[in-house]
Structures are given as structure tokens and as C-alpha cells.
Amino acid sequence: MEQEQLIAACRDQLKLVLSFFPRVDAKSSVVLAIDTGMLGYLATRLPSIDSLHWWEFISPSLAFAALALSLWHLYKGVIPTLEGGDRSLVYSREIAKRTESRFIDEFTAQQESDYIKDVLSQVWRNSEILTDKFEHLKWSFILMAGAVLPWTIALADFAMRTPAVRNHV
């Protein structure tokens, strides 16, 4: 493969990897909305703590714990470790450490082979970050789904404690 074709292929590969980030972030936003909705709804339905028997703490506690762990995984996925890319002329954090003129001078002075290696390093590192984000999203979703049953049981239990409100016409 010629140098120009190799550079184009490297750039395409980096674009491809970067195109997956908005997807995982969009899915994380959905899980975040569901998690917070479930937590908020359950919290508003909790009866007085003094009125609950010890066994009635089990289902809401399991739901709260699963949802809290789900939120923790979302946090870990949204705020990934961004280390790496030392002295890169492609990675924005490393570029920002330089002055504008120093960056321009170093970028224009680099060899094509160095640029190719730098871009491929970014492909590799971004793939690592993306894998970590997807893994945390997967666990967040699993925990959210696992919270549904104890959440439903808790809500049903709390609903049985509250007399139905009837409309009188």
C-alpha cells in the first residue's frame, strides 16, 4: 500500500472508531433516564420506614442497590480513563499541552511514517476506551434490568398499603 493510501486508510479507521462513541453515549443517556426514573418513582412511593416490617425492606433495597450499581457503571463509562498518547500530534489532550506555534512546527516537520504510527496509536487507544465504555454500559443495562423485578414487587407491596382513592361525583 502506498503512503497516501495508508494515511487515508488510517484516517478512515480512526473515523470509524470515533463514530461509535455517540452511539454508546446515546444508549447511556437512555439507561440513565430509566435508572433515575425508577429510583425517583420508587422513592416517592416509599411508605414511612416505621410502618415496614423487616422483610419489606428486601425488595426496595435490592432495587435501590441494583440501580445504584447501574448508575456507577454509567459514571465509569461516561468518564473513561484518558491516559496515553504521550507526545501525540493527533490526540487533543497532548496537542493542547503545546503552544500553537510549537504544535504547528512539530506537525509540519513530522515524517509520514511517524504520522501513520500516531494515527494508528489513536485508533488503538480509542478502541480501548470504546470497549471500556461498552462494557460499563452492558453492566449498567444488566443491573437496570435486574432491578425491575424487585422494583415491581416493592411498588406492588407499597400500593397494597395505600387505600385506593375514589372519585366522588
Compute the half-sphere exposure of residue 23: CA atoms within 13 Å on the CB side of its CA. Answer: 8
For residue 3, which of 148, 135, 116 has the smallest C-alpha distance? 116
Tell me the pTM.
Answer: 0.85
Cell triple for 93: 489532550
Give the three-state DSSP class for 130. Answer: helix
Domain locations along the chain:
3-27+54-160
Angle between helices 112-161 and 21-45 (to 10 degrees): 20
Query: Which residues, including other chains, have CB under 8 Å from residue 115's CB and lie 6 or more apart?
Result: 7, 89, 90
State the pLDDT at residue 54: 85
pLDDT in 10s for each residue of the chain, 169 residues: 788 999 999 999 999 999 999 999 999 999 999 999 999 999 998 888 888 888 889 999 999 999 999 999 999 999 878 888 888 999 998 999 999 999 999 999 999 999 999 999 999 999 999 999 999 999 999 999 999 999 999 999 988 877 665 555 5
